[in-house]
Amino acid sequence: MTGHPVGELFLGLAVILSGAKLGGHIAGRLGQPTVLGELLVGILLGNCGIAWLNGLGSDPSLEVLAEIGVVLLLFEVGLESRVSEVLAVGTRSLSVAVLGVVTPWLLGWGLGAILLPEHSIYVHVFLGAVLTATSVGITARVLKELGRAQTREARVILGAAVIDDILGLLILALVGGIIRAADLGGSVSLSEILLLFGRAVLFLGVTLTLGAALMPRIFRFTAGLKAPALLLTTGLAVCFLLSYAASAIGLAPIVGAYAAGLILEESHFAPFVARGERHLSDLIGPIASFTGPVFFVLMGLRMDLRAILDPRIALLSLALTLVAVLGKQACSLGALGGGLDALSVGIGMLPRGEVGLIFANIGLTLMVQGERIIDQGLYSAVILMVFITTLVTPPALKWSLARGGRARSAPGG
């Protein structure tokens, strides 16, 4: 194509956003998460044989917008969570979360070692890390639609998902740090691994501690200023500042974005809401609805369907999906006893959704001694795994909750 580069960017955005909304609409009509429709549109655009559309997946301007979309997505997830929820969910949710992170990580690591022996251990470890992700937003939507958001199973799932997000991000920070250190020169010692993990834990700990002390004062100060959109501006500034801080110490920016959402409580926004302004989540939503679909469509654009035709990649896709399902079903062991429907808890933790896509995208940027951690074939296999686990969760969870009279169980059940 010819013309001004910015003009082509605008055309690309028009195609991406229009396709994303159409795909999301169709997915919603079919009872599926909109993210699946957006991802599928990207896959179709990237494999339609039109060179210009294929090139959108590597456009640097779109990549920047996609990265902003990821940061805002994790910021939104953090806003919907509460530190108090993490502290109040109890040992039941904690055991579900730990089992749902450690088991798929180890299974994915082992699967990589068996099916990808030609790749380094760093590839195997990161592949396991990708499987730790859980997209609680999909499960939360199904529970709400069924009117079961207040059942004991729902509370355990949603509470565990908050802990799952934190543990998954810590693992991502740890594995990413190990890979970057190895790329700079050789092996990584146990002390260096502990240092990387300690750095991630310290970052979250300091952020949550200082945030609880500083955020009320910051928002009270900005509430007294005379300028438009102060709540949105202050919230975004906190998000971007902590994203930068995480990046500056070697962590993924999404770790900082998630932490920013966690430290912002509804009480901080009270002065703004009292004078008629909308909640921060409502203000962030329109921006995220623009940048988020760019990310998901780009993830689909980068998937090469021809790779799935390779028998090895097809086998890897099926094996990854099986391990992804089995790994999260280990969560059900943490829910045994106490009158909980353990199977529903395990299914509720199953979908990888947007979080799995974020992990896979980070893998595309990591290299060790010239070896890409997530190459095109492995990326395609991961995307298919994310697609399948996200696709099957809504009907599976509906069936599980409805079986044996579960759909009639009273809140607190």
Segments in 80-120 forming alpha helices (H): 83-88, 90-115
Q: What does the buried/exposed string (b/e) look like for 138-154 if buried means 16 or more CB atoms within 10 Å of the residue's CB? A: bbbebbeebebbebbbb
All domains in the chain, ordered by first residue: 63-292+319-408 (1.20.1530.20)
Would you say 340 and 52 are in contact if contact means Cβ atoms under 8 Å apart? no
Would you say 374 and 360 are in contact if contact means Cβ atoms under 8 Å apart? yes
Degrees, nearest 5: CA angle 30-48-301: 70
Query: What pLDDT score does 401 carry?
Result: 78
Query: What pLDDT score does 87 carry?
Result: 60
Q: What is the DSSP string of 312-362?
A: HHHHHHHHHHHHHHHHHHTHHHHT-STT--HHHHHHHT---HHHHHHHHHH
Query: What pLDDT score does 407 carry?
Result: 42
Q: Strand, helix or coil at 371? A: strand
Please, which residues have CB within 8 angstroms of residue 39's CB and are 6 or more apart in sequence?
A: 23, 296, 297, 299, 300, 357, 383, 386, 387
Which residue's entry shows tokens 């005379």?
226
Nearest CA to 219 out of 267, 283, 274, 287 is that of 267
Tally of helices (H runs) and strands (E runs) in the chain:
20, 2
pLDDT by residue for the chain (413 residues), tens digit each? 455 667 788 999 999 999 999 998 998 888 777 888 888 999 999 888 888 888 888 888 898 998 898 889 888 878 877 666 656 556 777 888 888 889 999 999 999 999 999 888 989 999 999 898 877 666 776 776 666 766 777 778 777 877 787 788 788 888 888 888 888 776 666 676 777 778 888 888 898 888 888 999 999 899 888 888 889 999 999 999 999 998 888 777 888 888 898 889 888 888 888 877 888 888 998 898 888 889 889 888 888 888 888 888 889 999 999 999 999 888 888 777 667 788 888 888 888 877 788 888 888 888 887 788 888 888 889 888 988 888 888 888 888 877 745 444 444 43
pTM (predicted TM-score): 0.77
What is the spatial distance between Cα 202 and Cα 20, in angstroms, rounded to a whole number?
Answer: 38
Quote the strand ranges of 154-287, DSSP E. none
Query: What pLDDT score does 91 carry?
Result: 75
